[in-house]
Structure 1
């Protein structure tokens, strides 16, 4: 039987003695989950952007980046949707780690997601 971790790509990120447990969880769990869900995240954000501003596709790059930043910082429903999508892909053991520092991990999820979306503007 396939489990959630089997679906994720293994990322070859360096690990140092000074790497914190939070960074390990981010790099071993959150990044692969966000990468797995990349296409869905882009699709969801594009739909959101077009509903909020019908001319999104014609905006200049700088305006799109500003819109992405502001949307993912200020729209709690959007943030919670993306956070829910991400934690829904966690195993029970990973969820225990997530629950140990929810605020920090949510901030990391949104920060990484924001950068992913901004770096793929051509697909939105």
Structure 2
């Protein structure tokens, strides 16, 4: 049976001398998980958007981006769901790292998801 880490794609992002531990974790663990779980995030967000505003498709791009930002910042249930999908793919050692600074990692997860959703929702 494949492990959680076997499912993730190696993104081969560059590592610089001044790259800190948080950035390494983001690039080596969180980004591959976000890529792996991408279809789930998009499906959940689209469902959320259409439940909250039935005319989501008719919004301008700027309005959609504002809606995405506001939703990810203010709707704790949505945030917690998306963060839960992400941390559910962590292994024990990664969970320990995540728990050492969960507030910072959650901000990074939401920021990356915001960009990811914006780039795919037209």
Q: After TM superposition, give the deviation of residue 57 of structure 1 in Å.
A: 0.9
- Residue 45 of structure 1 corresponds to 45
Equivalent-residue separation in structure 2 for 1:17 and 1:96 (angstroms): 24
Alignment of 1:16-95 (within 5 A): 16-95=16-95
The TM-score normalised by the length of structure 1 is: 0.97
What root-mean-square deviation, in Å, do the aligned CA atoms of Structure 1 and Structure 2 show?
Answer: 0.6
Where does residue 119 of structure 1 map in the other structure?
119
When the two structures are superposed, what TM-score results if normalisation uses the length of structure 2? 0.98
2-structure distance, mates of 1:90, 1:55: 36
2:6 equivalent in structure 1: 6
State the alpha-carbon separation in 1 of the partners of residues 2 and 69 from structure 2.
35
- 1:50-108 per-position Cα deviation (integer Å, ceiling 9, x unaligned): 00000001111110000000000000000000000000000000000000001000000
- The whole-number CA distance in structure 1 between the counterparts of 2:87 and 2:30 is 9
Separation in 1, partners of 2:81, 2:94 = 19
> What's the secondary structure of 1:16's corresponding residue?
coil
Runs of 4+ in structure 1 deviating by more than 2 angstroms, as ranges, are none
Mind listing any 5+ residue stretches in structure 2 that lack a counterpart?
A: none
CA distance in 2, matches of 1:17, 1:60: 42
